[in-house]
Chains A and B, each alone.
Chain A
Amino acid sequence: MMKKTLPDKRGYFGDFGGRYVPETLMRALDELTNAYRLVRKDSNFQKELREYLEDYAGRPTALYEAKRLSAVYKRARIFLKREDLCHTGAHKINNTLGQGLLAVRLGKKRIVAETGAGQHGVATATACRVFGLKCVVYMGALDIERQALNVYKMRLLGAEVRPVYSGSRTLKDATNEAIRDWVTNVDDTHYLLGSVVGPHPYPAMVRDFQSTIGDETRGQLRKKRVGLPDYLIACVGGGSNAIGFFHTFLKDRGVRMIGVEAAGKGVNTREHAATLTKGFPGILHGMKSYLLQNRDGQVELAHSISAGLDYPSVGPEHSYLKDAKRVRYVTATDRDALDGFKLLTEAEGIMPALEPSHAIGYLKRLMPKTKKSESVVLCLSGRGDKDIDTVKSLLKT
């Protein structure tokens, strides 16, 4: 049975999590942990956040029964949790509004963030506008090329986008650089981490801000007289949409959960981002979690068609849920994701981001095992506008 109180006081989910950071950051992490503990129970904070989520970000997002998609398989009913309808186009805004409001409470004037696909960067730049904070976003030089549109958006929103040329020039390296900036400017700066990764309290705090996804889903299913779902399915990079979606259902034993990792060109090639499937426990970015690494403990490069899943580690709670066998982690390749993109676009007129396209792509393996009387809910974490160029270059239609 899942314990409700995780993480423990030291930020551990079983064997995973913790705080593996340079000493300079320990005080800031203590302050953040204490501040977060206070605002969790602060009804004014929660009320203010709820207003931003509803009136600004557009929550609650819809739960849509995808009947034409369901008809493709003729098995369980498929529902989509429409995080793609959020302001800025993905679930990321749930977290940036929460942390932005918290940064104001902490008296911080400046925000640093990392971004891969640029969705978290745009959501951070947006929150910084609303709360009047200075915003610096680190982004791998390779991702800047892949996601030019989001870079332009961040700049329009007044954020300074700093390209990162070290290492693989992707999300991992942008995260290193954001942490280095934070170490240097820790007194006036809040690090607005975009996923359920990093040192404690980030994995727990970001999970809580994203839990609104699952909480709403539970109520919406009840309203539709579906009750508890039989399957939940979501994509996992760092894993924030998946954790936010799964969390409220962890204690409901009958709900089966599937996290879909990016298999890139295949898990048996060297080009994938299937951390939980192919990695080993290790330490990166302040946490202990599964990690893609070689025999000498050097971090290996991840690969995925979607910049948002292109990360060699994963949130520590996912590592825990994998080992506890509460969530099943599977993979979908770049090809599966493109198929998923095409399928949802054609069946339902919804263009998904390439990240949740991995979950859609996995349906062809999941659905034949389901029964007509069952329900499958898929977290559609973001919309596909940002990926149109990538899709155009790869899908020859």
Chain B
Amino acid sequence: MTESRLIDKLGNLRKQKSKVFCAFLTLGYPNLGATEKLIKAFDREGVDIIELGFPFSDPLADGPTIQYSSEKALARGVTLRDAFGLAKKLRRQGCRIPILFFSYLNPIYRYGIRAFAKKAAASGFDGVIVPDLPPEEETGFQHDCRRYGLAQVFLVTPTTAQPRARAIARKCRGFIYYVSLRGVTGARRNISADVRRHLAVLEKDTDKPVLVGFGVSSPKQAKFLSGLSEGVIVGSAIIDRLRKSSGKTGPAIAYIRSMVRAVKS
């Protein structure tokens, strides 16, 4: 059943002392067929977890890259039904990679939070990340996610005070998403200096895996950050490659290969 696919995967990776690599894709960018193809290719290349971003009209935690892919996907008319349909199709075909549903709250709220949790889990999603939903709000959704076996992952950031970070870590299922910077998503040249210290504190407070995301783009950064944590999450840098190659998937897949190699070596 669903979230166990994620939790088992993370458990096995830890046993093998392997770092975790999580890749983000925008559903429907460059198109739905490409999203399906990319998920399968990423699975083959050794990506451990897929974070599938549902496009939203007002993605206020995202930088220009993911704003762009979201706008394009929405212009193609992507809906929640497409997200459920894709997950179902992948599972039917035997694809076992854990897939997290990433979405701003409003599309979930409009669908109905309980109905969403039920449908997402039944379709084959393993977890959910909602960047504009702090753990204080819509606590009913947490119960619904547990009930249907959907792992809810919350974010911890450099501005999160330690007692709060500890409480958030307790609420996370699967892993903890550590945001490496103050700002929105998007590739950055430099990693902020206080990441090492924050991660050291956070890892003392929890035995759940901590994955680092936001701003990760080069294999060197990925290797450095996964050395300080249990793994990395990469998003905008993938979308950038899809955009530069006018939607061809080859360069993005080659990039993922180099990233996985950097993190796993």
Which of chain A's residues have a CB closer than 8 A to the CB of B179? 23-24
Stretch from B41-49, B107-115, B241-249 contacting the other chain: B107-115
Judge whether A282 and B183 touch: CB under 8 Å. Answer: no
Task: Give B195 Cβ to nearest chain A Cβ, in Å.
Answer: 14
Q: Say whether B202 faces chain A, with CB atoms less than 8 Å apart.
A: no
Stretch from B10-18, B128-136, B223-231, B256-264 contacting the other chain: B128-136
Q: Give a binary string over B158-181; 1 marks a CB under 8 Å from any A CB, 0 the rest.
A: 111100100010000000000100
Task: Give A52 Cβ to nearest chain B Cβ, in Å.
Answer: 31
| Given A27-B159, A167-B58, A299-B57, A22 contacting B132 (CB threshold 8 A) | yes
Task: Give B60 Cβ to nearest chain A Cβ, in Å.
Answer: 5
Judge whether A22 and B58 touch: CB under 8 Å. Answer: no
Q: Give a binary string over A279-305; 1 marks a CB under 8 Å from any B CB, 0 the rest.
A: 011111110100101011111000000
Q: Say whether A100 faces chain B, with CB atoms less than 8 Å apart.
A: no
Number of residue pairs across A and B with beta carbons under 8 Å? Answer: 109
Stretch from B24-32, B117-125, B149-157, B205-213 contacting the other chain: B149-157
Which of chain B's residues have a CB closer than 8 A to the CB of A26? 134, 159-160, 164
Judge whether B136 and A19 touch: CB under 8 Å. Answer: yes
Task: Give B42 Cβ to nearest chain A Cβ, in Å.
Answer: 26
Judge whether A284 and B159 touch: CB under 8 Å. Answer: no
Judge whether B108 and A297 touch: CB under 8 Å. Answer: yes
Judge whether A27 and B109 touch: CB under 8 Å. Answer: no
The dominant DSSP class at the A interface is: mixed
Q: Say whether B106 faces chain A, with CB atoms less than 8 Å apart.
A: yes
Judge whether A282 and B184 touch: CB under 8 Å. Answer: no
| Given A26-B160, A27-B161, A296 contacting B134 (CB threshold 8 A) | no
Which of chain B's residues have a CB closer than 8 A to the CB of A21? 132, 134
Q: Which of B136, B155, B156, B168 contacts A10 (CB 8 A)?
A: B136
Q: Which of B80, B109, B164 contacts A283 (CB 8 A)?
A: B109
Judge whether B67 and A296 touch: CB under 8 Å. Answer: no
Q: Say whether A184 faces chain B, with CB atoms less than 8 Å apart.
A: yes
Which of chain A's residues have a CB closer than 8 A to the CB of B106? 282-284, 291, 293, 297-299
CA distance A285 to B105 in the complex (A): 11
Contact residues on B (Cβ < 8 Å of other chain), bracket? 35 or more
Judge whether B74 and A298 touch: CB under 8 Å. Answer: yes
Judge whether B105 and A20 touch: CB under 8 Å. Answer: yes
Which of chain A's residues have a CB closer than 8 A to the CB of B168? 23
Task: Give A295 Cβ to nearest chain B Cβ, in Å.
Answer: 7
Q: Which of B110, B155, B159 contacts A282 (CB 8 A)?
A: B110
Task: Give B100 Cβ to nearest chain A Cβ, in Å.
Answer: 17
CA distance A23 to B111 in the complex (A): 23
Q: Say whether A51 faces chain B, with CB atoms less than 8 Å apart.
A: no
Q: Say whether B63 faces chain A, with CB atoms less than 8 Å apart.
A: yes
Task: Give A138 Cβ to nearest chain B Cβ, in Å.
Answer: 12
Q: Which of B80, B137, B183 contacts A183 (CB 8 A)?
A: B183
Q: Which of B60, B110, B155, B159 contacts A296 (CB 8 A)?
A: B110
Judge whether A183 and B182 touch: CB under 8 Å. Answer: yes
CA distance A157 to B133 in the complex (A): 37
Q: Which of A23, A167, A176 contacts B156 (CB 8 A)?
A: A23
What is the chain A residue whose CB lies nearest that of B156? Answer: A23
Question: Can you name 29 A-B residue pairings with CB atoms under 8 Å?
Answer: A18-B137, A19-B134, A19-B137, A20-B105, A23-B154, A23-B155, A23-B168, A23-B179, A24-B182, A26-B160, A26-B164, A27-B161, A172-B58, A179-B60, A180-B61, A183-B182, A184-B183, A185-B182, A186-B182, A187-B182, A282-B109, A283-B132, A284-B58, A285-B58, A295-B110, A296-B79, A297-B56, A297-B111, A298-B57
What are the 4 closest A-B residue pairs judged by CB atoms, nearest first? Answer: A297-B110, A297-B107, A184-B183, A24-B157
Contacts A22-B157, A184-B183 aside, 6 further interface pairs with beta carbons under 8 A come to A23-B154, A23-B168, A282-B110, A285-B58, A293-B106, A297-B108
